[in-house]
Structure 1
Amino acid sequence: MSRSHPRGAKPFRLTVGRIGLYAFLGCAALFFLLPRYTMLVTSLKNMEEIRLGQIFAMPAQFFWDAWKTAWSGACMGTQCGGVRVGFWNSVQITVPAVAISVLVGAVNGYALSFWRPHGSSALFGLLMAGGLIPYQIFLYPLVRLLATVELYNSVAGVVLVHVIFGLPLVTLLFRNYFVAIPEELCKAARVDGAGFWRIFFEIMLPMAVPMVVVASIFQFTGIWNDFLIGLVFAGRDNLPMTVQLNNIVNTTTGERAYNVNMAATILTALVPLAIYFFSGRWFVRGVAAGAVKG
């Protein structure tokens, strides 16, 4: 008896190309998931079980004390507060930096794509060049500048630096997205009396929601995972989670607690992973709509 297929649906055939594709995807998944699995099972073991050297074995009994210590009791030098303080510092740095850079980048991309001010081509080229320059070479001038305006060693200073370095990429993303929108839509709004800001907030920005998600994910991931800028500009009282994680891992008093280190690492990476997991559909939609097209 032949198996019927829905009308218009192609029957599934296991070809050599499909087998190769599945093999590649399986190897890629194994490559990325195996380190995370190792970190997770290590964080759930006690030190006696870790000393056995069976890194891929499941724990005989789940040991949650390492997670509690990593969150609120791990030591960084003489301070034993865990990564909890760094988490709230990272939130204070990341949320305003992402919001400001995405909003300003959207306005810049809109201006460069539709309103085309004098010299926009040169400005667009400078933005592309600016996005390729390593930001490490700007660290010393920025330190001097922020110290002059009394923003060095402050949350506001770190936010400002992240906004400056994120604007070229975000502007390019929004410019490429808005270029694909028919210009007649903007012209019709002008005929009806709408100005620059009304067209942007009532027409263009609502249409660019997928791109807002894409740009926000890029910015959020880069800022949350940043180490160097937070280390240089934040100051001792405002260190982000990544810097505190480094301090925890490199602080050794007696036996190195690998389970605590692994738990602290997972806690630090948990927020970006959750962002990707819950907004993955919007991310793919924004990329497919022209996020990386010139």
Structure 2
Amino acid sequence: MTTEALSASSSRLLEGPHGAKPKKLTISRIGVYAFLVLAALFFLMPLWVMVVTSLKGMPEIQMRNLFAWPSELTFEPWIKAWDTACTGRDCNGLKPGFWNSVKITAVGTVFSIVIAAMNGYALSFWRYKGANILFGLLLFGAFVPYQVVIYPLILAFRQVGLFGTFPAIIIVHTIFGMPILTLLFRNFFVSLPPELFKAARVDGAGFWQIFFQIMLPMSVPIAIVAVILQVTGIWNDFLFGTVFAGRENMPMTVQLNNIVQTTTGVREYNVHMAATILTAAVPLAVYFISGKWFVRGIAAGAVKG
């Protein structure tokens, strides 16, 4: 019996955590694989069209062979989109907008995540009178349409002399990222064992010491989730960049729109496609690199509480 039990246990270990792999394909399994392949092809088809179009010259594009690989490969549209494409009167390509987007995204992400982490920590362990009301107001703010508060924000920034400046766009992204990020951090901190906080209090640790030495190092998974959400949200933003950034701080999405809308003769679809791929490259890279961390962060407490 002992030998049989050991052999059974060994076979279960070899099967892995999800059971044994099927030895033959069934009709239902083939149907699932076929559906997944078709879905992947459907969603990848626009990306394929963008890539092949960006690598063609205009004469080949005008032949309307949309899906074909270019007969003469050229990277000239990419160089033009990056360096010399006209965004209105300026012909500096996407390069200025790219670096503006990098600055806005980096600073806005850091500010919003740090403030949201402190809010979530305070709402989880340092309950004060009216904390639940404040948390409810923050959640309410997550569902307020952006368009409703744009005009009041314009008036407020104009009064203090910040409208159309770099600090203005950072403050706007920090404000509108606050509700959902605070919810993420608050739910994550609530899922942690309260004994950690109590033990630190017994040892004499204060608000900031507990936050920086205990809570913040433990919140890396949910912080990565917040980084992914905020980076993609700020990088892809068009409305706030158009209204609040000012001409000198226009992000990449605004300049992409200007490139597409600026028409002098023939529309250069290859340049447009190259500019679009360049604009989308950073969010795609973030998801490809940090996708597994996103799932881990969500499972670690983002939907608890």
TM over 0.5: yes
Is residue 2:14 matched to residue 1:7? yes
**Would you say the 8 A contact 1:72–1:84 is kept in 2?**
yes
Q: Looking at CA atoms only, which structure, 1 or 2, has the larger radius of gyration?
A: 2
Question: Could you say which residue in structure 1 is the equivalent of 2:81?
Answer: 70
Q: CA offsets per residue over residues 150-170 of structure 1, 9 Å max, x none?
A: 111111100001000100010
Is residue 2:68 matched to residue 1:57? yes
Q: In structure 1, what is the Cα distance between the partners aligned to 2:176 and 2:184?
A: 14
Question: Could you say which residue in structure 2 is the equivalent of 1:149?
Answer: 160
Please point out which of 79, 100, 124 is paired with 1:113: 124
Question: Could you say which residue in structure 1 is the equivalent of 2:200?
Answer: 189
Q: In structure 2, what is the Cα distance between the partners aligned to 1:31 and 1:127?
A: 38
How far residue 26 of structure 1 moved from its aligned partner, in angstroms, is 2.1
Question: Could you say which residue in structure 2 is the equivalent of 1:92?
Answer: 103
Question: Could you say which residue in structure 2 is the equivalent of 1:162?
Answer: 173
What residue identity is the alignment partner of 2:257? N
How far residue 290 of structure 1 moved from its aligned partner, in angstroms, is 1.9
Please point out which of 235, 256, 280 is paired with 1:245: 256
How far residue 5 of structure 1 moved from its aligned partner, in angstroms, is 9.3
Question: Could you say which residue in structure 2 is the equivalent of 1:205?
Answer: 216
Secondary structure of the residue that 1:281 maps to in structure 2? Answer: helix
Q: In structure 1, what is the Cα distance between the partners aligned to 2:300 and 2:284?
A: 23
Question: Could you say which residue in structure 2 is the equivalent of 1:173?
Answer: 184
Q: CA offsets per residue over residues 65-113 of structure 1, 9 Å max, x none?
A: 0000000110122211100000011111111100000000001011111
Secondary structure of the residue that 1:7 maps to in structure 2? Answer: helix
Q: In structure 2, what is the Cα distance between the partners aligned to 1:198 and 1:17?
A: 56
Q: In structure 2, what is the Cα distance between the partners aligned to 1:38 and 1:51?
A: 14
How far residue 287 of structure 1 moved from its aligned partner, in angstroms, is 1.1
Output the TM-score relative to the length of structure 1.
0.95
How far residue 27 of structure 1 moved from its aligned partner, in angstroms, is 2.9
Question: Could you say which residue in structure 1 is the equivalent of 2:233?
Answer: 222
Secondary structure of the residue that 1:279 maps to in structure 2? Answer: helix
Output the TM-score relative to the length of structure 2.
0.92
Q: Which runs of 5+ in 2 are unaligned?
A: 1-10
Is residue 2:241 matched to residue 1:234? no
After TM superposition, the structure 1 stretch with the greater mean CA deviation from structure 2, 63-72 or 106-115, is: 106-115
Q: CA offsets per residue over residues 189-232 of structure 1, 9 Å max, x none?
A: 11111111111111111111011110011001000000000000
Identity of aligned residues (%): 60
For these two proteins, the number of residue pairs brought into alignment is 291
How far residue 16 of structure 1 moved from its aligned partner, in angstroms, is 4.6
After TM superposition, the structure 1 stretch with the greater mean CA deviation from structure 2, 9-18 or 192-201, is: 9-18
Q: CA offsets per residue over residues 107-166 of structure 1, 9 Å max, x none?
A: 101111111121111112111111011111100000011111111111110000100010
**Would you say the 8 A contact 1:96–1:159 is kept in 2?**
yes
